[in-house]
Amino acid sequence: MAYVYDDENIFAKILRGEIPNTTVFESQHSLAFNDVYPQAPHHVLVIPKGKYVNYDHFAAEASDTEIVDFTRTISAVCDILEICPGDEGNGYRMISNAGTDGVQEVPHLHVHICAGRELGRMLQKTQ
Ligand code: DGP
C-alpha cells in the first residue's frame, strides 16, 4: 500500500506550531490536545508526530518505538482525564476514522477520546 501524506493538513500545521492547540499531554513521538469541536465534556485527539495518514498506515510503517509511545500517550490521557473505568472514572470511547467511508476529515492519524457523559450507541445509522 502506498500512502500519500499531505503536509498542509491541519494537524501537520499544529505540529509545526503554525496553529495553536490546547495540549493535554506531549511525549517524544505523540501529542494529545483538545478537539476544537468537542462532542463530549472530554474530547481529546491523540496524534503521532510522524507523518501517518491513518491507523493502518501507522500500524504498517511506524517504528516499534512510535507505536509504544502512541499507546502509552493514550494511557496518559486516560489517567489525566480520570476516565479509566473502575475506581476513578466512568469510561470513554476511542475512535479513529479513516478514509471516505470512515468520514475522516483530517488526513493525519488521530484517535478521538470522548468521555464525561454516557455516549449512546456507537453508530447512529444502520447498514
Ligand atoms: P475526523 O473526522 O476523525 O478527521 O476528525 C477531525 C477532528 O479534528 C474534528 O473532530 C475536529 C477537529 N479539528 C479540526 N480542525 C481542528 C483544529 O484546528 N484544532 C483542533 N484542536 N481540532 C481540530
The tens digit of pLDDT for each residue in 27-80 reads: 999 999 999 999 999 999 999 999 999 999 999 999 999 999 999 999 999 999
What domains, with CATH codes, occur in the chain?
10-115 (3.30.428.10)
CA–centroid distance, residue 112 to ligand 1 (Å): 9
Q: How would residue 88 be classed by pLDDT, with cut points 50, 70 and 90?
A: confident
For residue 93, give the C-alpha cell. 470511547
Ligand 1 pocket: which of 11, 36, 100 to mutate (most atoms <8 Å of CB)?
36
pTM more than 0.85 = yes
Burial class for 33, CB neighbours closer than 10 Å (0-12, 13-18, 19+)? buried
- Nearest-atom index, ligand 1, CA of 37: 11
What is the rounded distance in angstroms from the CA atom of residue 119 to the CA atom of residue 108?
25
